[in-house]
A = this chain, B = another copy of it.
Amino acid sequence: MLRMSDLLERLRERGWRLTAQRRVVAEVLDGDHVHLTADEVHARAAERLPEISRATVYNTLRELVHRGEVLEVSTDGRAKRYDPNAHRPHHHLLCARCGSIRDVHPTGDPLANLPAAQSFGFTVLEAEVTYRGICPDCAA
């Protein structure tokens, strides 16, 4: 059963101009626990569409992030990773050794832990928790 990814379907509905390049980027990003760097996205996209350029991948990722369809995950100095699981809120578990990432769903709302008195006049919009540790592969 051929099914267009949820991502593509949603984008098409919102009048996103669909091109071959954008299609493969969206396809490459489909799935759970997918956290690729821009360069990895480009490499995988190029397997199916050899002429796709890095610039287009970067542009497309930037736009997907802007539209709230993909999450940009900072990884302590390493290249950013892109997470298609943007529709359900979650946090990240980052391997301090190899940089690999897993999605996690902690209990409780971290925002609730910041007393207003500590906001320094900021309008606080969101809280993101990064758990750091050593992944099973690196521990072995």
Contact = CB atoms under 8 A, between A and B. Distances in A.
Interface of A: 72, 74-77, 80, 93, 95-96, 102, 104-108, 110-111, 113-115, 118-136, 139
A80 B132 CA distance: 17
B134 A123 contact: yes
Given A124-B131, A124-B133, A130-B130, A104 B96 contact: no
Given A77-B80, A96-B125, A133 B119 contact: yes
A118 B133 contact: no
A128 B130 contact: yes
A132 B121 contact: no
Contacts of A111: 131
6 contacts: A93-B118, A93-B122, A106-B115, A107-B113, A107-B115, A110-B113
A96 B65 CA distance: 14
A102 B106 CA distance: 24
A84 B121 CA distance: 23
Nearest to A128: B130
Interface centre among A106, A113, A122, A136 (most CB of B within 10 A): A122
